[in-house]
Amino acid sequence: MGGGGQSRREWLHGARDTAPLALSAFAYAIGFGVLARAAGLTVAETSLMSALVFAGASQFAALPLFSAAAVPLTIIATTAAINLRHLLMGASLTRVLRGVSRPLLAAVAFGLSDETYALVMGRAQRQPLSAAYVLGSFLALYVAWNAGTGLGASLGALLGPPERYGLDFAVTAVFIALLTFFLEGRPGWTVLGAAAAISIGGVLLLPGNSHLIAAGLGGSLVGAALERG
């Protein structure tokens, strides 16, 4: 079978491996849809936001700013700060994706999420990584996130508060699950411990959500030092 067949297999493999995470994304996307409607967004605005932005944490962070009628620059600055971690994820992903065309890289960049990044980097530690596999993972999450958003936005008044169904914990559960892709041996636990310590200290000493950025940078530096050592 030719290259096209191989790409299809990789695409399907990426989507299949991501299916459990996609179910979790669907669950907390419902919560986002409900909260977005409560914040004053229409069903169309909520759905369009998920389709074009596709950044769960930033979308959640933007909702109280929409409710408070914050100026656009404040919303942009807040969501950009939260998404700074994508600079680190994108930089590390380029090391394992070789010879990929710019259009494909643009699609990968748009679809890059915490879930996809954790999954594909875990796979890259065991075997070569293809753009088709990454795109399959991205599309599985993208469909689940947008389907959940549409459902939550459309039925928000009937569903009521997301906490009633435990959907508010879905985000936390997903990130706990993501850790399992990297906690192999002492290096993984060392990076986790460093990032946790920086985050806890940052909550006490740093303003706003900057402790998240500090923890991401600090953990990355510790990981880089261990890799070089």
Per-residue pLDDT of 11-39, as tens digits, reads 899 999 999 889 888 988 988 898 888 88
Domain boundary pick from 124, 149, 170: 170
The reply to whether 97 and 149 lie within a common domain is: yes
The reply to whether 161 and 199 lie within a common domain is: no
Using pLDDT thresholds of 50, 70 and 90, give the confidence band for residue 227. Answer: low
Closest by alpha carbon to 138, among 182, 108, 100?
Answer: 108
The reply to whether 68 and 114 lie within a common domain is: yes
pLDDT of residue 77: 84
Number of domains forming the structure of the chain: 2
The reply to whether 19 and 107 lie within a common domain is: yes
d(CA 130, CA 206): 39
* pTM more than 0.85: no
d(CA 98, CA 77): 32
Those residues with Cβ within 8 angstroms of residue 123's Cβ, 6 or more apart along the chain or in another chain: 17, 129, 133
Kindly state whether residue 12 falls inside one of the protein's structural domains. Answer: yes
Domain assignment of residue 191, given as a range: 183-229
The reply to whether 94 and 198 lie within a common domain is: no
Q: Is the pLDDT of residue 82 over 80?
A: no
Ranges of H-type helices in 155-209 = 156-159, 170-179, 185-205
Kindly state whether residue 206 falls inside one of the protein's structural domains. Answer: yes
Kindly state whether residue 18 falls inside one of the protein's structural domains. Answer: yes
Kindly state whether residue 139 falls inside one of the protein's structural domains. Answer: yes
The reply to whether 154 and 209 lie within a common domain is: no
Q: Is the pLDDT of residue 140 over 90?
A: yes
Closest by alpha carbon to 140, among 4, 5, 25?
Answer: 25
The reply to whether 149 and 229 lie within a common domain is: no
The tens digit of pLDDT for each residue in 171-183 reads 566 666 666 666 6
Kindly state whether residue 177 falls inside one of the protein's structural domains. Answer: no
The reply to whether 114 and 196 lie within a common domain is: no
pLDDT of residue 2: 43
The reply to whether 102 and 25 lie within a common domain is: yes
User: In the chain, what is the straight-line distance between the N-terminal and C-terminal CA atoms, in Å?
Assistant: 42
